[in-house]
Structure 1
Amino acid sequence: MTVLVVTNDFPPRQGGIETFVRSLCDELPADRLVVLAARMPGDTQYDAELPFPVVRDRTTMLLPTARVTRSAIDVMRRHNADRVLFGAAAPLGLMGPALRKAGAKRIVAMTHGHETWWAGVPGPRQALRRIGDAADTVTTVSTWCEQQIAKALSEKATIRRLTPGVDTTRFYPGCGGEQVRKGLGLEGVPVVACVSRLVARKGQDTLIRAWPRVLAEVPNAVLLLVGGGPQREQLTRLAETMGVAHAVRFTGAVPWAEIPPYVDAADVFAMPCRTRRFGLEPEALGIVTLEAAATGKPVLVGDSGGAPDTVRHGETGYLVDPYNPVAVAVRLVSLLTDPARARAMGAAGRDWVADEWTWQQSGVTLRDLLDV
């Protein structure tokens, strides 16, 4: 038996879904795996170092067209693949019936976050229903995503939870934070870090609006915003307007491989993510929050979509109203001014992630779903 992974979300492009799909590949037998992916800059060099073959389509975006479907069937036949994993159910899962006819014995369609709006819009909703009917299993990353997507699926569809894992050998207390602090001149300074792309959904502006109240209680505290993105200029102007520009540090984009030390550099991790665009743009899960917990940091996360699954409120951190800077500031101050409690929450988070959020557990689930 060989597994064909069909996906647009694969390295060398960086992102949460790309990391998810790539890490799941490591949980499958390399000699029984082939990936069909979109073309992107740097893919030839990246693919050459992998222990399994990757077939790159001639386009930069796979769509369930007749040509791409024929290409997927051709890859199936050349590699004797009889299991199919769609890295993202919508829209690639629409190829399911054709791949089934071509010999696929098991089909698993992964959902992440964008499928939740498919579930609520006529047209896409019917397409998602067809995807569910064609697959043996549709997977979801969080409780909230499952609730939303289930509304669009028929009674014959099967839903299972398949979450990303956390590599606790990369994210652990002391994984390089001291060096980052030294390099940024933050030694001995209370640091709250948000590690994420600078986009409106992640709520970095809420942190900046909360910062005057934080500084009133913790005068030397620094807000460290790690990542690049389209909101950089707006956030910079907001920090100036709020009078906290001196206490907000922007690192710019950081390569994925170098992220753990930046998380480790924080005393508190905060990402007050929020749902936007009338509910069509939620936070599906937020694996970076779990990575921060694995690094032994107390976490503060916004109540959006599936984000509540990444924190045990009052035990590993706090769930907050992402539209309320005052409430965010109160929680941040409570953690910064009570280091013992913050450390206890961080330790509890580390234990929780190590017990329940490993890639090994995700791999067991995936192999069961594919019957590998």
Structure 2
Amino acid sequence: MTKTLVVTNDFPPRPGGIQAFVHNLAVRRPPGSVVVYAPAWKGAAEFDAAQPFPVVRHPTSLMVPEPTVLRRAGEILRSEGCDSVLFGAAAPLGLLAPALRRRGAERLVGLTHGHEAGWAALPGARGLLRRIGDGVDTLTYLGEYTRSRMARAVSPRAASRMARLAPGVDENVFFAGAGGEEVRRRHGLSGRPVAVCVSRLVPRKGQDALIHAWPAVLRSVPDAALLLVGGGPYRRDLERLAASAGVADSVVFTGSVPWEELPAHYDAGDVFAMPCRTRRRGLDVEGLGIVYLEASATGLPVVAGDSGGAPDAVLDGETGVVVEGRSVAAVAGALADLLGDPERARKMGAQGRSWVEREWRWELQASRLDGLLRA
């Protein structure tokens, strides 16, 4: 049995999508086959005690590819008898790969996310990404968008060894009937058509486009409501925008909610919408958009923006609709069509649920990782 050292800056209890991705892969490794090396974080001791594998914490909240981190990773590699290494995010810790190979690692895999595709667009970072690709045995990619971006930056040999590995969805956690009615009652939304967005409130996610589109949606579906789930630095601007657009009475901001309540908040919607758009000349881009898949698992049709790899998480015209994230008219049209046609929305939601069950379950992703670590 191969034993894997996971070297990662991104790991719970620190919140975030990459953190959840890495943790879900780790907990699905066979018993006794994984050990994690991650930075310190508030609440780590309690979290680590509940894990089915050992977690070694670095004394600071950030790990960089420098001698102290290398030395500690090498010590763990030897003392735990690990023969493979998984970098939770290939950039930048994947720069340690050649040195860890010299210390006994036989197989090295680097997960990539949206930010590595950003590195591929920057001259200095591109060179580092090329070194990382040459140092590991396999770089993973989320979907065709991130693969094509990185393949142009790494060496031909590294590009030929890339493999797809995306986050999964727990279909037993995200499902229709997961508690949405209670959330609707809490916010006074019972009986109304609801578009829900679950995401951090930042400009790239496109909540402002939803609010700009909402007057047009209300002209078609007068009792519709927009439920914005999540916190973030953009909230005050969005609240002002809702007031100035005259739709504040039909836009609900929940703020941040505990992870265990997220399935119920998805389930409170009839349609899921996050019209993300690429910013900063391609440096601020959606890597995949796991929220679309969680919404599909819950039985909702999705309205997705066209940023980066977001379309990889939607079967356009089947599980939802991909729109230009900067087009308020396109966003409004897609929302009004789905909110105004519940039967079409339900059909798309059912197709989305089936797609998740076929292609996106965590067990499938864990099996793919197992194959990469054994190759």
Q: Do these two structures clear the TM 0.5 threshold for a shared fold by scoring above it?
A: yes
The superposition leaves residues 150-184 of structure 1 with CA deviations (integer Å, 9 ceiling, x where unpaired) of: 11111221100001010000001111111111111
Q: In 2, distance between residues paired with 1:56 and 1:334?
A: 50
What is the rounded CA distance, in whole Å, between the counterparts of 1:264 and 1:357 in structure 2?
A: 19
| Deviation (angstroms), 1:309 | 0.6
1:113 alignment partner in structure 2? 114
Q: Is 1:355 paired with 2:358?
A: yes
Residue matched to 2:248 = 245
1:171 to 157, 171, 174: 174
1:14–1:256 Cα contact (<8 Å) kept: no
1:70 is matched with: 71
Unmatched 5+ stretches in structure 1: none
CA distance in 1, matches of 2:13, 2:22: 12
Specify which of 268, 274, 278 is matched with residue 277 of structure 2: 274
CA contact (8 A) 2:141 2:166 kept: yes
- The equivalent position to 1:336 in structure 2, one of 318, 334, 339, is 339
Q: Secondary structure, in 3 states, of the residue corresponding to 1:365? A: helix
**Structure 1: which amino acid aligns with 2:144?**
T
Kindly indicate whether residue 76 of structure 2 is the aligned counterpart of residue 91 of structure 1. Answer: no
Corresponding position: 1:346 with 2:339: no
Q: Deviations over 1:294-319 (max 9, x none)?
A: 10000000001000011111111100
Contact 1:224 1:248 in 2 (8 A): yes
Query: Which of 302, 307, 312 is 1:304 aligned to?
Result: 307
Confirm or deny: 8 A CA contact 2:229 2:253 kept in the other structure: yes
* Structure-2 residue corresponding to 1:287: 290
Residues 176-209 of structure 1: per-residue CA shift (max 9 Å, x gap): 1111111111110110000000001100000000
Query: What letter matches 1:263 in structure 2?
Result: Y
Q: 1:230 aligned to 2:233?
A: yes
Secondary structure at 1:114 match in 2: helix
State the match for 1:327 in structure 2. Answer: 330
**Contact 2:301/2:345 (8 A) holds in 1:** yes
SS for the counterpart of 1:340 is helix
What percentage of residue pairs aligned between the two structures are identical? 56
CA–CA distance in structure 1, aligned partners of residues 187 and 251 of structure 2 = 12
Root-mean-square deviation (CA), in Å?
0.8
Query: Is the 1:293–1:316 Cα contact (8 Å) retained in structure 2?
Result: yes
Which residue in the other structure is 1:148 paired with? 149
Structure 2 unpaired stretches of 5+ = none
Cα drift, residue 30 of structure 1: 2.8
TM-score by length of 2: 0.98
Distance of 1:101 and 1:30 partners within structure 2: 26
SS of 1:31's equivalent in the other structure is: coil
What CA distance in whole angstroms lies between the structure 2 residues aligned with 1:185 and 1:120?
46
How many Å separate the matches in 2 of 1:321 and 1:123? 31
Secondary structure of 1:40's partner? coil
Partner of 2:194: 191
In the alignment, the residues of structure 2 paired with residue 255 and residue 64 of structure 1 have an alpha-carbon distance, to the nearest angstrom, of 33
CA–CA separation in structure 2 for the residues paired with 1:277 and 1:269: 26
Contact 1:293-1:349 at 8 Å conserved across structures: yes
Say which of 362, 367, 375 aligns to 1:364. 367
1: CA distance, partners of 2:167 / 2:228: 23
Match of 2:205 among 195, 202, 206: 202
Q: What SS does structure 2 have at the residue aligned with 1:69?
A: helix
User: Conserved in 1, the CA contact under 8 Å of 2:120 and 2:129?
Assistant: yes
DSSP-derived class of the 2:29 partner: coil
1:66 to partner: Cα distance: 0.9
Question: Residues 11 and 43 of structure 1 are in contact (CA less than 8 Å); yes or no, is this contact kept in structure 2?
Answer: yes
1 CA distance for matches of 2:20 and 2:14? 9
- Which digits, 9 at most, give the CA deviation of each residue in 1:329-359, with x for residues without a partner? 1111111111111100000000011101111
Q: Is 2:27–2:52's contact at 8 Å kept on the other side of the alignment? A: no
